[in-house]
Structure formats: structure tokens, C-alpha cells
A and B are shown apart, each in its own frame.
Chain A
Amino acid sequence: MNATFTLLEMRLITRDWGGMFFTAVLPAFFYLIFGSTVESRGQSIGNGNVAMYVMISMAAYGAVTATTSIGGTSAVERQQGWGRQLGLTPLADSSYIAMKAVIAMTVAAVPILLTFTLGALTGARGSAWTWVLSAVLCLVCSAVFAVYGLLVGTAFRSEAAVGAASGTMVIFAFLGNLFIPLSGPLLTIAKFTPLYGYAGLARYPLSEGYLSDGSQDPLWLLVLNVVVWLLLFGSAAVYFVRRGRERQ
């Protein structure tokens, strides 16, 4: 680990106000709209209440937007020649990846902290371990989408594509049952989409898999969804990284 390098990278991210708005502020704003104003916000679910359910969902959305964007930006900046510049230094690939992972986790923590703080102030209630566990799950599992960002960045090699990838998180979030409680055939389809397992896992400490229509997702289904998407993103990213290297 290299503190100077990591801190300068962090400073670079804070300079991107537009990016920070979408990753940190927007999810918190969504929470205020969807979570703290709905009539049923005080109604209890599992180990907490509806406001908390919405809070976790929005925090999860913010975290994946952040990790997608950081994964994608890293891939694009490496391909635009920064990788060659770093290739002239003693910096090992493994320490570069470790630093990027620390940065991605740090930035993903911002929307989680912000949304959770707002939640605590505006009526989200739950048991102490539900707060802690859901925050940790939000953070750790968001790493899957850093790989997704990496994949998009490597495949399309442009900042615009990375922006679009972050943007598609809105669609995945909708299909992942994050914004509106889905039901019927749409819910069945949703269970195969990439954010569904992640969101379900993040809310599991609170809801234990129960959905608004009364059905319950088993833990293995949520874990399987996350693992399968991680493998898919991971192998596709490896494919594109190799293809890119061949053509250097």
C-alpha cells in the first residue's frame, strides 16, 4: 500500500463534483423522497421498519453506482496510456489493484453513511445488528459491481461508456427490486438480474428475505445470484483484458 498514491487518487475523485453528486447525494435524495415521506414508513418489517427498508435499498444503489464508476474509470485510464506510464514504475499490478479496491470501498461507503445517517434522523428504525450488518453487506458486496465497471471500461474503452454503465444501474436497480416493490412476472424476471441478489442480501438482516407480497427469498437464492453475476462479470472482464493486451 502506498498512502501518497491512494490519497492523491482520492483527491482526484473529490474533484469530480458531477460524479460525487450521482454517487453520494442522489441516493440520499431518493431516500428522502421514497423512504421518509411514504405513509407506511413507520410500519414494521422484520427487524425494523419500512423507512429502513427503503434506506438500505437506496444506500445499496449509491454504493454500486460508486463502485461501477471507479472500476470503469480505472480500466479506461489504464487503457488511455496511464497503464503504460505506471508500467514504467516499480508499482506492482497487485498493489495497484489493492489501492483501487480501497478507494472503491471508501467511495462506496460515502452514500451508505450519508443515507444511513439521514435514515437515523428521519425515522428508520431497526435492531442495532441490523444496522451494522446491512451496512457491511451493502459495502462488501458492492465490490461485484467494481468488476462490472472494469468489464465495461475494458470492453468499450471510453469514459462515456463508463458513465452509461453507471447510468444503467438505475435500470438494474429498478429490476433489482430496489425502487418499487415488484410483483408477478416482473418479480420472477427480476430474480435473474444482477442487482437483485445484492439488494436482497443487503436487506436480509432486516427482512430475512420476505418481500412485500408476502413471499420469501431463500438466502441461497440471493447468494447464488451474487456469485453467478460475479463469475459472469469476472470472466468477461478477463476476456476483454486479454484481448486488449494482445492488441497493444
Chain B
Amino acid sequence: MTTISGTAAGASGAPAIELRSLTKSFPPRRGSHDERVRAVDGIDLLVEPGEVVAFLGPNGAGKTTALDMVLGLTEPTSGTAEVFGRTPRVAVRSGSVSAVLQTGGLLRDLTVRETVRMIASTYAVHAPVDEVIDRAGVSGIADRRVSKCSGGEQQRLRFALALLPDPRLLVLDEPTAGMDVTARRDFWETMHADASSGRTVVFATHYLEEADAFADRIVLIAAGRIVADGPTDEIRSRASGRTVSATLPTEGLLRAVERLRDLPGVRSVEERAARVVVTASDSDVVARLLLGELGGTDLEIVTAGLEEAFMALTGDDRDGPGLGGGPVDPRGRRMTALHADPTHEEELVR
């Protein structure tokens, strides 16, 4: 692997984002006996200029921490982060990257326009204040105090601030968190209108439909690692599937579970009380085996909701011991198929 350095490379050939073995751990809370929390646990990622990438993962997956390192707001514990071939701080100072932060605070007593003017004054060169106010759709509330703006309006203001340096890379950390459905749709419409300029956009979200609607590529993150990475359609088709469940006789149950697991296309087999629940891409094969050879009764076939499938795949199962926080195989981080991670699949089986 060649290391890209120098301003010439930074200007043209370098990837928008390059993360190498990135980790970040935090010291435990005072007075607790926990070990250091590994928020980001070894991420390798390459984002090319012009890509629109979604970081998809449940709360606490490490998305914000990873993006903080891309923006130079947090130093990595180990590994490196580069933006257009330069360190994040240099990229931020030159205005080639900016962001809409989930927790980016605003001064409550300033008006919307004053906030934009204030941040604009920190750049040597910036887009005209009225222009970004217009593009972010806040011209109607430009003279309103920030404290009087709704969450969605404040988020648009942050978007206006992010547009000031006309960045080549725009990072959005859960840009629609806390917005209602209408505000969320409006926000993404504004984003769509702006995206034509060929900007690289990386956004974190835990709404699958947002990733689906806006991103070309989805990077699925769970427990500080990338568990899947690929074009949006591919991830979506992997994430969907059907759940087949049936009641099985208790004798020979273990063997039956083994049989089900060996079927092609089966992603997980779970025992819930007297029932087995099988997630698989080919539900017919599973149903046939369950009703025929295995002597199952009360068969039920459900098309798994995207949200459910996603939750299962990222290991966010609250009553699953050993899930989520459990050890994850370090191999194969950059994969295109969710089921290609055998360790993860085993974890889903109880």
C-alpha cells in the first residue's frame, strides 16, 4: 500500500476518506471496574470522491466516534485517518471537509443569520451568507433566535454552516435524529437538491430507509467494526429475507436444528420455547423440511421487515446473551455480503 502525501496528491488523486486500522477506546467511568470501552475497533475504509456513503448501524455502534476521527475532532487511539490525502485537521482548515454534527451546539441567543455570519467570519474564503441561507432553506427564519427554532430548523442551520466553505466532502452525523417524518423528508429533499454538485457525502444514520433512499453505498457498522460494505441494492437484498417458524417435537430437536442449519440460504436458526425460528433466503426449502421430515406443526412464514433484518445482522438483540458485545472475527472486514461473515452468523444461532 502506498502512502499518499503532499499537496499535489491531496488535490487530485487521493481518496476522499482513507481509514487504516482505525481504533478508539475510552477510559472507563470513574469508580467503575469496566475495562476501556472500544468504541471503534479496527476500521479500514476507502471512500472515493463523488461517492454518497451511508454509515448504518444501531446507536452506540461507533458511527459518531468514527466520523469524529474523520473530522479531526477526536484523535484515534491507533491507526490513521486521512481526508483527501491529508490529516483531518489540515483538511478542515482548508475548508475541503465540513459537517453537520448530531451534537454540534449552537448559541441560543444568536439569530440564524448571525450564526451563519459568525461561522462565515472564521473562513478566509466562503460562500455568500445569503446564498447558503437560501440553499439550506432557512431564509424564512433568518432573523429568528436559535432558541426559537425547532430541531429540524436548527439542523438546517447546521447544514447552512456546513455549506459555507463549499466543501468537497460533507459529513452528516445522524442529520435527521429527533425530526418528525415531514421534517426528515424535507431535510433529505434539500440534501438531494444540493447533491448534484458532485460532492462526496458520508452520513451516519440508524434509519435503513434513509440509507436506502439516499446512499449509493452502505457501510454497516456494529460494535465498532464494519460488518458489511457494498452497493445499496446489494446490502438491501442481503438484509431482507424470510422468517420461517414452526413447533417441533422436543425429541430430536438438536438434530433438527443441525439439519436446518445445513440447508443452503439459511442465515440463522433460533429456538424460542418450543418453536424454531429460521431466517433464510429460500423459505420454501425450509418449510418443506420442517413440515415433512422434521414433523413440525403450526408453520408460519413472515417476510422479515428491513428494520428487523438489519437489527439481527448488526447484533442489536437485547435479549440475546453474547450478541452485540461478543467477540467478532477480525477477518473479512470489507465484504459485500452480510452472510459472508461466518462468525457473525454463528452468533445469531442459539
Contact = CB atoms under 8 A, between A and B. Distances in A.
Interface string B94-132: 110011010111110110001001111111100000000
A16 B110 CA distance: 11
A159 B127 CA distance: 34
Contacts of B72: 87
Contact of A8 (B74, B99, B118): B118
A176 B254 CA distance: 80
Interface string A85-104: 11111110000000000000
Q: Classify chain B: how many residues form its interface, as a range.
A: 20 to 34
Interface string A67-90: 000000000010011111111111
Contacts of B218: none
Nearest to B110: A12
B274 interface: no
A4 B109 CA distance: 16
A87 B114 contact: no
A84 B122 contact: no
A85 B119 contact: yes
Interface residues of A, number: 26
B103 A90 contact: no
B350 interface: no
Nearest to B97: A88
Contacts of B103: 81, 84
B257 to A, nearest CB: 44
Contact of A2 (B93, B107, B121, B161): B121
B109 A88 contact: no
Contacts of A2: 121-122
B71 interface: yes
A85 B68 CA distance: 12
Contact of B161 (A83, A85, A90, A246): A85
B160 to A, nearest CB: 12
Interface of B: 26-27, 68, 71-74, 92-95, 98-99, 101, 103-107, 109-110, 114, 117-124, 158, 161-162
A-B pairs with the 8 shortest C-beta distances? Answer: A81-B105, A4-B121, A89-B122, A91-B122, A82-B105, A85-B104, A80-B105, A90-B93
14 contacts: A12-B109, A12-B110, A82-B105, A84-B73, A84-B105, A85-B101, A85-B104, A85-B119, A85-B161, A87-B92, A89-B92, A89-B123, A90-B94, A91-B122
